[in-house]
Chains A and B, each alone.
Chain A
Amino acid sequence: MKKSVFFGALTVAGLTAGAAAAATLDDVKARGQLNCGVTTGLVGFAAPDANGNWEGFDVGVCRAVAAAVLGDASAVEFVPTTGKTRFTALASGEVDMLARNTTWTFSRDVDLKFEFTGINYYDGQGFMVPKALGVSSAKELDGATVCIQTGTTTELNLADYFRSNNISYEPVPIETNSEAQPLYLEGACDVYTTDASGLAATRAAFENPGDHVILPEIISKEPLGPLVRHGDNNWGDVVRWTLNALVAAEELGVTSANIDELANGTNNPEVNRLLGTEGTLGEMLGLDSDWAMRAIKAGGNYGELFEKNIGENTPIGLARGLNAQWTDGGLLYSPPFR
């Protein structure tokens, strides 16, 4: 608790320091570059490739915002942050937005004075165990040693879950996902727990993925999304509606392949408003009329980003699940572009 008070105080200090620079949108435009906080590396979500270009699902959000605001998807300075430095980087103004698979929680939103601008991935915490352990449910894990990343919500969820089920566990604290893998494989812990997407990615990298099972229990809600600082609603709107544009584009069937054709005008007024051939939505945001078109072109709509980075055809192989459009039984539901 003391920790969060301390960070809260730091955040307030940061906000007062940053008050003079409240208009983030103007700053970004003047700088010609978006400073986007990402992870130091998480498979499928953000990692630089052999040529040093950042790639991944979270990176796609940064690029879309840069394309919408600056017209150039490559005008992004990716600032790598760890689980411990991410919030101070945002609060101190070092980054304009954070797209770093960060869970939207009450205290982060209210106490740390951030504004989550939507959800780009619905995740949940799961457990992975070796098949040889013969466990089929998380409730049978009494007395297990559990590898867990420190400074994350998963740590707290784990404690809650085991306490409410009245079973005990022994935590093995680790810093990053890449440290957890060898520890788990060498048997330093019986169980590895993190977000289900991370578990799938980790398992996919094993030599024998079939020797490990992911238990059916999902013990928490982990809505991951981009966030910005409190107090600059205009900039928050830009990030929120860029994400919404990607989601809406998939729902409306707008892809990076057919977008040029659709931009000539269609019979669907919502597509026209989204792509700026009708109405003045871009102007209301403080951008030009084809902002959303550029955002979608940057890496494709939500579905294309998903398939390219973490979808079933990638080594990570995540199913859409909760992250399908609401029309397909998922939770993705963009407010109307009107």
Chain B
Amino acid sequence: MSDTHAQSVAFVRDTMLPEQAPPVSEAGVVKWMRENLFPGPVNALLTILAIYFVYKIVAGALPWFWNGVWTTSSLAECREVLNGATGGCFSVLTERWNQLLFGFKYPSEQYWRPLSAFILLVVAVAPVLFFSLPRKMLIFTGLYPFLAYWLIWGGTILAPLFGLIGLVVAFMVFRRVEGRGFATAALAGLVTAVVVWWLGGLLAAALPGALALDPVPSRDMGGFMLNMILGTVCVSLSLPIGILLALGRQSHMPIIKWICVVFIEFIRGVPLITLLFVANVVLSYFFPPETNLDLIIRVIIMITAFASAYIAEVIRGGLAALPRGQYEAADSLGLDYAQSMRLIILPQALKISIPGIVNVAVGLFKDTTLVSVISMFDLVGMIRGPILASTEWNGVYWELWGFAVVTFFVVCYGISQYSQWLERQLQRDHH
């Protein structure tokens, strides 16, 4: 600063003012509240109303949780302990915990079997869900269905073992004969598998004690375990079947196309509960009284058929969304049908279809509770039937249904979070 104008200018600031804190109303919590909660009279009113309702709900629900009784052995005792105070009777969950998880007939000393099957399920599914895991883990995923069957249903290990061997041998035969045409190879593979299974059946029947676990009949499955079994099996079966149906529906071969169209349209036009009633009631008229096909298998077939029809339509949407140029590009590279689908079309179509597929999977998992209507004791069936009908727990509702809600929410929310993560992972465009 020079002195040139020292006389003509009254005051010259020669230092910076220190930085001031912003006004209270423009910073921090107050600003956030002003902008988000009370920007105007109407919104302020709504906010206050909302806070009031939240308070009411919390004030009502908190003592109910806080005073909850966990150790009594009947509802009457609960009421005695509470003595008129508000409180949940969570004893029903502790006393019937195993029944809620495993149903009331699964032998209690064998609970470790479904439990370890569940833990192994996590290991088996992990490499499918997360691509960064070592690919060798997929070997275990392939073995898992047979292992889980052996763990949950018990019996000799020979039965699932030969099921596996049959598939492996059939695949090897298929690869060997593949050069002579797809149909011949598929037929040869099928024949081999049937022969191996037949031999395995004979052997398993002859040696029922080989590495055997106590067999548990399907009728004894129940609780959340049944929902998990139905959900996992049906989702994993319906995905490949759905892909085949979607491709079949686009096929140029009229018979295949019509079979797929009729199947999809028929199944989609029928409510799931009707299919379940058919599985339970009507199918048994077509079998001789003694040869009853397992009820779980009948139900799995029906739910899988239902889910695959929906997944097929979702994937068809994905296929239709691909530009025609992609198909032509595949053709111009000289790829045959199977190669072009596997390498070019499906990876893109499936990526587009992920939200839809997950939607179907979540819906399907929740729909497994419908089996309670055909007197199977899944989680909902256990609550509706045996637990609420017992003399001790007749009249406990909120606690049981709340438990069911939380259990299903955890699983379904997990699935949906995973799918969002997956979509971000597969993002290839840069917006």
Contacts and interface: CB of A to CB of B under 8 A. Distances in A.
A178 interface: yes
A282 interface: no
B288 A52 contact: no
B389 A178 contact: yes
B76 interface: yes
B145 to A, nearest CB: 28
A43 B387 CA distance: 10
B99 interface: yes
A239 interface: no
A47 interface: yes
A171 interface: no
Nearest to B220: A52
B391 A21 contact: no
Interface residues of A, number: 46
A92 B285 contact: yes
Given A40-B384, A47-B390, A207-B79, A18 B395 contact: no
A205 B386 CA distance: 15
B184 interface: no
A257 interface: no
A44 to B, nearest CB: 6
B388 A41 contact: yes
Contact of B375 (A14, A51, A82, A177): A82
Interface in B364-395: 373-375, 377, 381, 384-391, 394-395
A314 B391 contact: yes
Interface in A169-191: 175-179, 181-182
B280 A52 contact: no
B105 A52 contact: yes
Contacts of B250: none
Contacts of A99: none
Contacts of B388: 41, 178
Contacts of B104: 48, 52
B386 A94 contact: no
A21 B289 contact: yes
A176 B390 CA distance: 14
Contacts of A179: 384
B285 A17 contact: yes
B284 interface: yes
B373 A205 contact: no
A52 B99 contact: yes
Residue from B108, B289, B387 having most chain A Cβ neighbours under 10 A: B289
Nearest to A206: B395
B76 to A, nearest CB: 7
B384 A88 contact: no
Nearest to A204: B394
B394 A43 contact: yes
A130 interface: no
A319 interface: no
Given A41-B386, A41-B390, A43-B390, A82 B373 contact: yes
Given A20-B288, A85-B280, A178 B390 contact: no
Contact of B391 (A13, A20, A88, A315): A315
Contacts of A60: none
Interface in A267-302: none
Interface residues of B, number: 37
Interface in B270-329: 280-282, 284-290, 292
B403 interface: no
Interface string A71-89: 0000001011110010010
A214 interface: no
A10 B281 CA distance: 10
Residue from A82, A175, A316 having most chain B Cβ neighbours under 10 A: A82
Given A52-B99, A181-B395, A17 B289 contact: yes
Contacts of A92: 281, 284-285, 289
Contacts of A49: 390
B386 A48 contact: yes
B76 A315 contact: yes
A311 B251 CA distance: 68
Contacts of A48: 104-105, 386, 390
A47 B386 contact: yes
A100 to B, nearest CB: 11
A206 B390 CA distance: 14
A201 interface: yes
B375 A40 contact: yes
Contacts of B375: 40, 79-82, 85
B407 to A, nearest CB: 19
A124 interface: no
Nearest to A80: B375
Interface string B234-267: 0000000000000000000000000000000000
A225 interface: no
B95 A178 contact: no
Residue from B96, B285, B288, B381 having most chain A Cβ neighbours under 10 A: B285
B404 to A, nearest CB: 13
A50 interface: yes
A315 to B, nearest CB: 5
Contacts of A315: 76, 391
A274 B387 CA distance: 38
A42 interface: yes
Contact of A40 (B290, B389, B390, B391): B389
B98 to A, nearest CB: 9
Contacts of A88: 281, 284-285
Contacts of A176: 384-385
B41 to A, nearest CB: 37
Interface in A33-80: 39-44, 46-52, 77, 79-80
Contacts of B285: 10, 13-14, 17, 88, 92
Contacts of A118: none
Contacts of B373: 82, 175
B75 interface: yes
Given A47-B385, A92-B289, A204-B394, 8 more contacts: A17-B285, A20-B288, A44-B391, A50-B99, A52-B108, A85-B374, A85-B375, A176-B385
Pairs of residues from A and B, 3 with the lowest C-beta to C-beta distance, nearest first: A41-B389, A93-B289, A178-B388
27 contacts: A10-B282, A14-B285, A17-B286, A17-B289, A21-B288, A40-B377, A40-B385, A41-B387, A43-B389, A46-B389, A47-B385, A47-B389, A47-B391, A48-B104, A52-B99, A77-B219, A85-B374, A94-B292, A177-B389, A179-B384, A181-B395, A181-B397, A182-B397, A201-B394, A205-B395, A207-B79, A314-B391
